[in-house]
Amino acid sequence: MAALAVAASLLMSACSEGPRSVAVIPRTTATLLWEPLHMGVAETARGSGLHIYWNAPPDETDPVKQSDLLLSCGKRGFRGVIFAPDQTFATRSTVLQLVSSKMPVVLIDDDQGPAPGPYLSYVSTDEQIGADLAATRIAAILHGHGSIAITGISTSLEGGVSREAELEKALALRAPGVKIVQRRFGDALITHQQQIAQTILERNEPVNAIVALTGAATRGAFYAKLAENPRSTIPIVGFDQDILVPILSGDVDSIVVQDTRAIGQIAMRNLMAQIKGESVPGFTRVPPLLLTRENFDSPKIQSLWEFSSYRWSSQ
């Protein structure tokens, strides 16, 4: 009975707080990619009277859990939702359901297809700029000639498909002498990504560089290099910040970093405006950054990691 009373109390609290709260559901939490988003949302919402409900699956391999969290948003009466889909189509119908009920939704880091409108907007990384940063870096590393393998191609996310396509176009423009000799599909399982990278490193005709299109693929490629004896010197250009120390050691040459702090700020501004019935841009593209050992300590890069000292209690 006591447990039921506590549960009822929590439910009533959640319902009563709904009109003053917005939900933010990234793909996962407590990572270098998503915590800057949390900070960007929180610092933008400060002083607005809105509370932030931040929740996500413990990793990016549980789209069912993420879908359940999104479904609960309508039941709990949140004012709006900021959502980064784990898979493009797995939650499309739920997003449409929320929008049709006039709950404002801001989709980040993916394009599910529905046209933006009064209750739906998109904020994402500019994949064209990111691909150009990676291609320019590869051209410099390989002096314009060589072979590469692309890992971490994600077919479950529209953004993953477009990232690979944009990279191919950018390489053709920036480094026409660099040939893609392997393309490997990816998932969020780091051990699997490591196995894929190891097969690339151990092939009879090794590539001159690896471009890893996700954080998991980047980490997997790094672990594969560590497992080689002697350690592989093949450079890695990665995407989506997940590890930092290998940048300083040189085991990872560079990472195309999403400015998720800015994405969070813009997404929250959009959501607050949509709640008030104001119009916002349908699509906003945020330029990513190229993280290297040379600019590791730059103010812009370091601003992404300020979530560790952010005063969360004052939110």
Reported as a single tens digit per residue, the pLDDT across 148-205 is 999 999 888 888 889 999 999 999 999 999 999 999 998 889 999 999 999 999 988 8
Q: Which CATH architecture has domain 19-125+259-288+298-314?
A: 3-Layer(aba) Sandwich (3.40)
pLDDT tens digits, residue range 267-278? 999 999 999 999
Q: What are 34's two structure tokens?
A: 């998503």
Q: What is the mean pLDDT of the chain?
A: 91
- Check whether 294 has a pLDDT greater than 90: yes
Amino acid at position 157, single letter:
L
CA distances from residue 251 to 48, 81, 107, 238 in whole angstroms, order as listed: 44, 38, 34, 11
The whole-model pTM stands at: 0.91
Phi, psi of 51 (to 5 degrees): -100, 150
Contact, 256 vs 290, CB < 8 A?
yes
Bigger pLDDT: 234 vs 204: 234
- pLDDT value for 314: 57
What burial letters (b/e) apply to 278-304, b meaning 16+ CB within 10 Å?
Answer: eebeeebebebbbbbeeeeeeeebeeb
pLDDT tens digits, residue range 99-133? 999 999 999 998 888 899 999 999 999 999 999 99
- Check whether 14 has a pLDDT greater than 90: no
The contacts of residue 216 (CB under 8 Å, 6+ apart) are 60, 152, 186, 187, 188, 189, 190, 193, 242
Any idea where the domains of the chain sit in the sequence? 19-125+259-288+298-314, 127-257
Coil, strand, or helix at residue 284?
A: strand
> Could you give the percent of the chain with pLDDT greater than 90?
77
Q: Give residue 27's pLDDT band: very low, low, confident or very high (50, 70, 90).
A: very high
Assigned fold of 127-257: Rossmann fold (3.40.50)
- pLDDT value for 1: 39
19-125+259-288+298-314 and 127-257: same fold? yes
- pLDDT value for 97: 93
Q: Give residue 19's pLDDT band: very low, low, confident or very high (50, 70, 90).
A: low
